[in-house]
Amino acid sequence: MNLKNRVLFGLTERIIERNSKFENIHKGESCYLFGNGASLKYYNLKYFNDKHAIACNSFFLHRDFRHVNVKYYFEGHSFYYYPYWINPYSRKIQKNPMGKFCKEKNLCNDDILFFCNLSNYFGIHGDNIYYAHNFGISFDGFANCKLDGSFTTMSSALSGMLGLAIFMGFEDITLVGCDYSFFPQSQGHFYEYGRFPDTFDKDPNEEFLLDAMQYANVRVITPNDEYRGHILPHVSYKDFTGNESIYKENNEILSDSDLLNLDRFNMKYKIFSK
């Protein structure tokens, strides 16, 4: 930890130590981790409501959001809840519609415990809001990834959710909508229009997944038997639920107003057929 990060940790230690109460709070239990992948278009999420869940990013836009037991939420983006930000696509400083949109949707309500990047401390507050940071330390295994210290899994939504789950003691973890974790990889998001070509890229979460398997039984749900886990074991949606997967377009699982908002946010999402 360099001098800058040592100073930052010293100034925020009490804020970070507030997370210590979550260590092993769910020891030995099972959970779901919900990503934002396009495979969610094939699933009826009401079949995934029998366990605690950790969700991330824009999952709250899904119509079935309230039908699953989301107890924890992870949003790892830096400076996400301020009036202005650097657009991750245009790289320009501009008004930030996303953070405001999330606040307006009342995502950070009292019945979900919300974990976000420490940089957002002055942008969002609440009794259910918690902050995490890596303090410049790179990931070298979940044994050294501490929610109440250096939370080294801030680089992606999935790695962050795995970090939460393992710190909390979950020992059986099922990934849903985490499409980089099966092969071929389904592209796009559940809130985007249409179907995207599959790819055969290396999973960016490989290091995290391999290490996570030392602490928990981890599997990924796939839309059908055409997709297989190449790091994790997989279970097809049909085998898991007993039902065939049925494709739904984004306008069937998001409200019209949410689709219009996403389209005007200039985030390079394909929201409508154009």
**For position 94, which CATH number holds?**
3.90.1480
Q: What is the pLDDT of residue 266?
A: 76
10 in a structural domain: yes
* Host domain of residue 34: 3-264
Please enumerate in sequence order all residues whose Cβ is within 8 A of that of 226, keeping only pairs 6 or more positions apart, or say none. none
Residue 60, strand partner residues: none
Q: Is the model's pLDDT at 203 over the cut of 90?
A: no
270 in a structural domain: no
d(CA 121, CA 133): 11
The burial class, CB within 10 Å (0-12 / 13-18 / 19+), for 102 is: buried
Q: What is the pLDDT of residue 110?
A: 65
Q: Is the model's pLDDT at 136 over the cut of 90?
A: yes
Q: What is the pLDDT of residue 28?
A: 96
In the chain, the number of structural domains is: 1
Please enumerate in sequence order all residues whose Cβ is within 8 A of that of 211, keeping only pairs 6 or more positions apart, or say none. 141, 142
What does pLDDT average to over the chain?
A: 92
d(CA 32, CA 241): 14
Mean pLDDT of 176-182: 96
SS (H, E, C) 115-140: EEEHHHCCCCCCCCEEEECCCCCCCC
Q: What is the pLDDT of residue 111?
A: 84
Q: What is the pLDDT of residue 67?
A: 92
d(CA 164, CA 130): 12
Q: What is the pLDDT of residue 96?
A: 86
Q: What is the pLDDT of residue 155?
A: 92
Mean pLDDT of 64-72: 93
Q: Which tens digit of pLDDT belongs to each residue from 12-48?
A: 999 999 999 999 999 999 999 999 999 999 999 999 9
pTM, full prediction: 0.94
Q: What is the pLDDT of residue 87?
A: 74
43 in a structural domain: yes
97 in a structural domain: yes
145 in a structural domain: yes
Please enumerate in sequence order all residues whose Cβ is within 8 A of that of 163, keeping only pairs 6 or more positions apart, or say none. 142, 145, 147, 151, 152, 153
Q: Which tens digit of pLDDT belongs to each residue from 77-117?
A: 989 999 888 777 777 888 888 888 887 776 666 689 999 99
Amino acid sitting at position 250: N
Q: What is the pLDDT of residue 268?
A: 82
274 in a structural domain: no
Q: Regarding beta strands 234-236 and 217-222, do their DSSP bridges make them parallel or antiparallel, or are they unpaired?
A: parallel
273 in a structural domain: no
Residue 175, strand partner residues: 33, 220
Q: Is the model's pLDDT at 56 over the cut of 90?
A: yes
d(CA 228, CA 221): 9
196 in a structural domain: yes
Q: What is the pLDDT of residue 205?
A: 92
CA 194 centroid distance within chain: 22
Q: Is the model's pLDDT at 265 over the cut of 80?
A: yes
Residues present in the chain in total: 274
Q: Is the model's pLDDT at 243 over the cut of 70?
A: yes
DSSP state of 259: H
